[in-house]
């Protein structure tokens, strides 16, 4: 394979369709052209990111000298696995189960009313004057098990109500909520970005969770400070059409229950139940991580590591949600199945993009491009964590997708860290740097920008002043904390 060849020589592939230039310079040219082609396909041609990543991976592999057999295998499917199969299967074997379980867990919490209970209890706890802070805490807690956009869809009506009641700018309540949702989406499993990066760099999810909390909390606090500042300077009224739609949806649900003869109110979810379900997998995974450090090989350690395996921990949390939020409150097994199945429909696109990112990384490694990049970046002299952040920022700003920025950056950074004997803690901080870069400056090429603008009735100009800057604050502070901590681990 090319990864074992000296970086100054062309990879010894004889079956490649095209080898543009010999040596390290040629491999770097191929890498640069590949990334440019990826951006053109996504930005200009509007090609689906999964297809774009796959096409660029094939083009880079062939240009760097990989043979068709090495890329795709043979018709007879010999024992040797193709580069594309290795890249796709290696990452999805780690990511798919975690994302699937996390998605179903989030759906049960959403449909059962757990989000509404959480936000209302926190609003009562903090009081009217601290309602923006309550929205921020709601975003952090509820953002752990649900996707960013789902969190907006579910919690937006509560923002409308709080802003309408106070008569103040909706930004004062929406921005803290968005900061919490964005922070958890960027830094914490089971969200696709950090999970995918952990799979590519072979980092324990326990360390990713720990560093995600340590890095993410200062970032979200800084974002809350900015939210308070911008919310008092730009006044945006509650979007009346969204408020009416929210009230109509509640009326439709009440009418449906009445048609089914369910006149009694559904039992309310308790705040303790919501926190228990969300917190259980995090505690179990962290316990397993620390047991591997603090305990010698023993039966108790094996038991802790079993229950702290991400697959097992999330399955336990999902079963708890099925019973505590569903069956115990009168849900039928059919309803649980329908909610779980429907929640998985949007996941397909995410998994394919993550898998294609794994293919891109595998092609870079097998062709020798990754080693050439590694040698060049080492010569630049910048710390790995700084390079990881800068690459992620460039990819994010250029094409808009945080997931594409993360999986592409992780593939590029992998050769810099895989043979360097770095600790798990340091690698987790590298992932935090990549994740921080992936949320920098959300603007018009990011779907999240338009969701925020339209759901909260903010003009494009004011969205740039508020949401885009908010994402920059989260990104820069998150990276700064990660970089500082990397000096001590």
Whole-angstrom CA distances from 445 to 93, 399, 450 are: 30, 7, 9
Query: What long-range pairs does 51-54 form, CB within 8 A, spacing at least 24?
Result: 53/353, 53/356, 53/357, 53/359, 53/360, 53/404, 53/407, 53/408, 54/356, 54/359
Q: What is the pLDDT of residue 20?
A: 44
Residue 40 lies in a domain: no
CB proximity list for 438: less than 8 A, separation 6 or greater: 186, 193, 392, 395, 396, 402, 403, 405, 406, 409
Residue 36 lies in a domain: no
CA 137 centroid distance within chain: 19
- Identify whether the C-beta of residue 121 lies closer than 8 Å to the C-beta of residue 337: no
Kindly give the parts of the chain with pLDDT less than 70: 1-22, 74-80, 241-267
Measured between alpha carbons, how far is 470 from 474 in angstroms, rounded to an integer? 6
Measured between alpha carbons, how far is 415 from 423 in angstroms, rounded to an integer? 15
Nearest alpha-carbon partner for 154 in 188, 107, 191 = 107
Residue 17 lies in a domain: no
Q: What is the pLDDT of residue 7?
A: 40
**Greatest CA separation for the chain:** 76
Both structure tokens of 294:
């603090």
Residue 417 lies in a domain: no
Handedness of CA 25, 27, 29, 31 (dihedral sign): negative
Q: What is the pLDDT of residue 8?
A: 37
Measured between alpha carbons, how far is 412 from 391 in angstroms, rounded to an integer? 9
Measured between alpha carbons, how far is 66 from 35 in angstroms, rounded to an integer? 18
* pTM for the whole structure: 0.83
Measured between alpha carbons, how far is 56 from 41 in angstroms, rounded to an integer? 9
Number of Cβ within a 10 Å radius of residue 453: 19
Q: Is the peptide bond before 190 cis (omega within 30 degrees of 0)?
A: yes
CB proximity list for 238: less than 8 A, separation 6 or greater: 160, 163, 164, 170, 457
Residue 113 lies in a domain: yes
Residue 313 lies in a domain: yes
Residue 385 lies in a domain: no
Number of Cβ within a 10 Å radius of residue 345: 9
**Residue % of the chain over a pLDDT of 90:** 42
Handedness of CA 28, 29, 32, 35 (dihedral sign): negative
For 430-456, how does the pLDDT look when each residue is reduced to its tens digit (9 = 90+)? 999 999 999 999 988 788 898 898 889
Q: Which alpha helices (DSSP H) does 264-401 contain, by range?
A: 271-294, 299-307, 310-321, 333-343, 347-367, 369-380, 384-399
Domain that holds residue 130: 90-196+205-220+254-343
Nearest alpha-carbon partner for 467 in 445, 447, 441 = 441
Residue 411 lies in a domain: no
**What region, left, alpha or beta, does residue 48 occupy, with left being phi > 0 and alpha being psi -120 to 50 degrees?**
beta
Q: What is the pLDDT of residue 333?
A: 85
Measured between alpha carbons, how far is 280 from 339 in angstroms, rounded to an integer? 21
- Identify whether the C-beta of residue 220 lies closer than 8 Å to the C-beta of residue 183: yes
Under DSSP, is residue 67 helix (H, G, I), strand (E, B) or coil?
strand
Nearest alpha-carbon partner for 92 in 365, 351, 414 = 351
DSSP structure class, residue 19? B
Q: What is the pLDDT of residue 146?
A: 87
Q: What is the pLDDT of residue 258?
A: 64
Both structure tokens of 432:
């935090």
Q: What is the pLDDT of residue 164?
A: 86
Both structure tokens of 192:
């696709």
Q: How many domains is the chain built from?
A: 1
Q: Which alpha helices (DSSP H) does 75-187 contain, by range?
A: 83-111, 114-126, 131-143, 148-166, 171-187
């Amino acid at each position: 394979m090319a990864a074992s060849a000296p970086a100054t020589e062309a990879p010894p592939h004889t079956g490649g369709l095209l080898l543009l230039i010999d040596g390290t310079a040629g491999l770097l040219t191929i890498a640069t052209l590949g990334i440019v082609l990826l951006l053109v396909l996504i930005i200009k041609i509007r090609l689906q990111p999964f297809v774009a990543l796959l096409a660029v991976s094939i083009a880079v592999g062939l240009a760097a000298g990989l043979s068709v057999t090495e890329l795709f295998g043979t018709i007879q499917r010999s024992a040797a696995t193709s580069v594309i199969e290795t890249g796709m299967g290696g990452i999805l074997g780690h990511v798919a189960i975690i994302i699937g379980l996390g998605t179903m867990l989030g759906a049960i919490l959403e449909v059962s009313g757990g989000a509404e209970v959480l936000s209302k209890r926190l609003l009562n706890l903090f009081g009217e004057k601290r309602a923006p802070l309550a929205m921020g805490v709601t975003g952090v807690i509820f953002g752990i098990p649900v996707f960013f956009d789902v969190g907006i869809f579910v919690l937006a009506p509560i923002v409308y109500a709080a802003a309408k009641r106070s008569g103040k700018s909706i930004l004062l309540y929406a921005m803290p909520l968005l900061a919490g949702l964005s922070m958890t989406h960027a830094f914490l499993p089971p969200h696709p970005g950090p999970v995918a990066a952990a799979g590519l760099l072979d980092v324990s999810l326990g360390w990713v969770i720990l560093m995600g909390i340590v890095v993410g909390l200062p970032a979200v606090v800084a974002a809350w400070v900015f939210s308070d500042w911008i919310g008092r300077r730009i006044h945006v009224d509650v979007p009346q059409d969204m408020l009416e739609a929210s009230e109509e949806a509640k009326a439709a649900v009440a009418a449906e229950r009445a048609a089914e003869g369910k006149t009694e109110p559904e039992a309310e979810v308790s705040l303790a139940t919501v926190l228990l379900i969300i917190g259980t997998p995090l505690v179990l995974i962290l316990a397993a991580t620390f047991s591997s450090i603090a305990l010698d090989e023993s039966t108790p350690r094996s038991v802790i590591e079993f229950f702290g395996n991400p697959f097992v921990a999330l399955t336990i949390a999902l079963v708890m949600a099925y019973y505590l939020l569903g069956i115990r409150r009168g849900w039928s097994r059919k309803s649980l199945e329908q909610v779980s199945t429907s929640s998985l429909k949007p996941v397909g696109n995410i998994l394919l993009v993550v898998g294609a990112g794994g293919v891109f990384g595998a092609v870079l490694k097998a062709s020798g491009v990754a080693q050439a990049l590694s040698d060049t970046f080492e010569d630049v002299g910048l710390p790995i964590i700084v390079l990881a952040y800068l690459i992620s920022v460039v990819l994010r700003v250029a094409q808009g997708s945080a997931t594409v920025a993360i999986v592409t950056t992780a593939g590029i950074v992998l050769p810099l860290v895989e043979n360097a004997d770095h600790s798990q803690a340091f690698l987790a901080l590298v992932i935090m740097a990549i994740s921080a870069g992936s949320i920098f400056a959300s603007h018009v090429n990011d779907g999240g920008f338009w969701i925020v603008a339209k759901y909260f009735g903010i003009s494009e100009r004011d969205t740039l002043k508020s949401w885009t800057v908010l994402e920059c604050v989260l990104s820069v502070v998150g990276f700064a904390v990660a970089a500082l901590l990397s000096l001590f681990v």
